[in-house]
Amino acid sequence: MRFHFSPKTPLFALSSSSITSLCLRPFLPSAPKSPFYPSLACHASTGGNLRMDSTSPDPSSSSSVSVDSVADGLKNQSLREHDISNNNNMNNENKKNNGKLSLEDLNWDHSFVRELPGDPRSDSIPRQVFHACYTKVLPSAEVENPKLVAWSDSVADLLDLDPKEFERPDFPLKFSGASLLAGAVPYAQCYGGHQFGTWAGQLGDGRAITLGEIMNSKLERWELQLKGAGKTPYSRFADGLAVLRSSIREYLCSEAMHFLGIPTTRALCLVTTGKFVTRDMFYDGNPKDEPGAVVCRVSQSFLRFGSFQIHASRGGEDLGIVRSLADYAIRHHFPHIENMSKSESLSFSTGDNDQSVVDLTSNKYAAWTVEIAERTASLVARWQGVGFTHGVLNTDNMSILGLTIDYGPFGFLDAFDPSYTPNVTDLPGRRYCFANQPDIGLWNIAQFASTLMTANLISDQEANYAMERYGAKFMDDYQAILSQKVGLQKYNKQLVNKLLSNLAVDKVDYTNFFRALSNIKADPSIPGDELLVPLKAVLLDIGKERKEAWTSWVQSYIQELVASGISDEERKASMNSVNPKYVLRNYLCQSAIDAAEMGDFEEVRRLLKVMERPYDEQPRMEKYARLPPAWAYRPGVCMLSCSS
């Protein structure tokens, strides 16, 4: 599997076919055939830089109340002056007894603002922000009797936060941004990105405000971020707010993905603001007022590919920021790379005609790029395994930690359709459809590698090697996942290819099929007319010809099961541990949203509890594993826009 990274040739030459063609498209002649391989956007090897039109910063003065002054005031505030002083003795006792902390006792650190260049201004006027990684800005969303909708005890545990803190009467005020947490130093991050394959220039946190980093008792670093907390300099023409509809989806899916075992940002809590926000959900000229909300997102870092791209695109002195940002990321999030030594002998031949060698121990940035490529490949393979489609895989939505980030118009496959996209704005070309995700991940890695080349951090050979590792890692992980899903110890390409083809032809429910497959017995003596009985509930409305196709596949499958020598009971347990019974289908989200918009949040909480145990049978919860009802196919349920 070879890649050649040069501005003079097409970006990718993945042998004779793309990654997607290796795992999905050959089985599906109706799938889109546009793998989206545009030329390199930033010709690093020739010294060129991305150009974009931008205006000079507005020279107006900073806001009258600075972030620093507010933060310092809160930090030095006496606990006796706090509104909930009556609870302090209890909180202090909890801290002593179980190691859990009150909000006032959280161990804040602010390495991002301490170690990286910031915007000298702290107002939220939309503008181009130059030579800076962030702008300090205060949350500004208007609230009126905010309410706590949902919360995660497991995320609180990551922060060493006492779950009793959720009961505080001022908790919704603090996590709507109306009352700043003591010790927080809020800021919005500056980044750019490619959107639908086109460089979009400066983007940034337009409605997300990071409060800072919490260091827990394990010395893990966790950033707290309020999404929907108000305008920032990166809001452009938007209001910086979020609606309850999209906030519920982000909150539920980030937690559901975690419990599926897929790397993701987390969500501590969701609060309503008590105010309405106007949104044109389908961009069709019919806006409506929706309840406002704020999600507290939690991640070890919110750095994205676009965090580096914006500075490389501007060239000049900003190329130094790319290096500083890379050093920061390696120091805090990839410390093992900082500590590599020559003795580890991480040298690899690139396979080029000149037999070039990439020595990862001689260039930490190359080793870092390779690890990001591999983490990204592994993440995408896991998405494909559970049938998850992100919907907006722009480079500003790609985490350097290999996390699922920025939940917008996502969707899990119902009927298996590789061309499925949950994003109505992606319909014309289906760039971000399910089948294209592996290719898009590679495309995004190439843009990231190009950025580092522009900053002279890696060579073209090192960039090529990172992309090669993406391809190899994806195929290794994807094949391992598919083998586990069908209960085999070794990947059987022919068997899996035929299975995926059958699933696509008959539009079989992806999640329910693999769960039902574990009921097949490794018994070659089963009569032919009984082979499909275990799959009866998922093979719906298929005719005689298709029954014969499925019977033939099951016969081949049983032969493989017999050869594996694994007992039916052991295989079933193993398959059910990787094939979820419950995934966050869009219609389930919509049912919870409909109830929440009427003031009933119980379905949100109930759905969260179900998604916390996706691989368990959960008696009496079977309705959450049902196929979508007819109403689920109306616009706004299975197809969504980015308006949120």
> What pLDDT is recorded for position 83?
39
**32-36, 545-549, 584-588, 628-632: lowest mean pLDDT where?**
32-36
Predicted TM-score of the model (pTM): 0.87
Amino acid identity of residue 45, one-letter, is: S
Cα distance between residue 552 and residue 506, in whole Å: 15
Cα distance between residue 579 and residue 574, in whole Å: 9
Coil, helix or strand at residue 109: strand
Torsion of CA 397, 403, 409, 414, to 10 degrees: 140
> What pLDDT is recorded for position 425?
87
Half-sphere exposure of 535 (CA within 13 A, CB side): 24
Coil, helix or strand at residue 299: strand
In which element (H, E) is residue 338 found? helix 335-338
Compute CA distances 476 → 12, 27, 201, 303, whole Å: 19, 19, 35, 26
> What pLDDT is recorded for position 91?
44
Q: Between helices 460-485 and 568-576, what is the axis angle to 10°?
A: 130
Q: Is the pLDDT of residue 219 over 90?
A: yes
Coil, helix or strand at residue 294: strand
Average pLDDT over residues 231-241: 95
pLDDT tens digit sequence for 470-506: 999 999 999 999 999 999 999 999 999 999 999 999 9
Q: How far apart are the first and last CA of the chain?
A: 40
In which element (H, E) is residue 189 found? strand 187-189
Task: Give the 3-state secondary structure of 433-470.
Answer: CHHHHHHHHHHHHHHHHHHHHHCCCCCHHHHHHHHHHH
Coil, helix or strand at residue 202: strand
Q: Do the beta carbons of residue 641 and residue 283 sit within 8 Å?
A: yes
Q: Do the beta carbons of residue 389 and residue 411 sit within 8 Å?
A: yes
Which of residues 475 and 60 earns the better pLDDT score? 475
Cα distance between residue 288 and residue 277, in whole Å: 8
pLDDT tens digit sequence for 107-154: 999 999 999 999 999 999 999 999 999 999 999 999 999 999 999 999
Give Cβ neighbours of residue 279 (< 8 Å, ≥ 6 apart): 243, 287, 288, 290, 643, 644
> What pLDDT is recorded for position 631?
81
- The partner residues of 118 in beta bridges, in order of sequence, read 134
Q: What is the DSSP string of 240-283?
A: SB-BHHHHHHHHHHHHHHHHHT--B-EEEEEEEEEEEEEE-TTS
Cα distance between residue 461 and residue 603, in whole Å: 52
Which tokens belong to 597?
């918009």
**198-202, 385-389, 639-643: lowest mean pLDDT where?**
639-643
Cα 105 to chain centroid distance, Å, stands at 30
**234-238, 255-259, 517-521: lowest mean pLDDT where?**
234-238
Task: For residue 23, name the pLDDT band (cuts at 50, 70, 90).
Answer: low
Compute CA distances 184 → 82, 88, 108, whole Å: 16, 19, 7
For the chain, what is the mean pLDDT?
Answer: 86
Q: How many residues does the chain have?
A: 644
Backbone torsion region of residue 488, taken as left when φ is above 0, otherwise alpha when ψ lies between -120 and 50, otherwise beta? beta
Which tokens belong to 464?
């090529």
> What pLDDT is recorded for position 17?
43
Cα distance between residue 198 and residue 309, in whole Å: 13
Point out the residues that are catalytic: 396
Q: Is the pLDDT of residue 398 over 50?
A: yes
Task: For residue 77, name the pLDDT band (cuts at 50, 70, 90).
Answer: very low
Q: Do the beta carbons of residue 236 and residue 126 sit within 8 Å?
A: yes
> What pLDDT is recorded for position 340?
80
Q: Is the pLDDT of residue 571 over 60?
A: yes
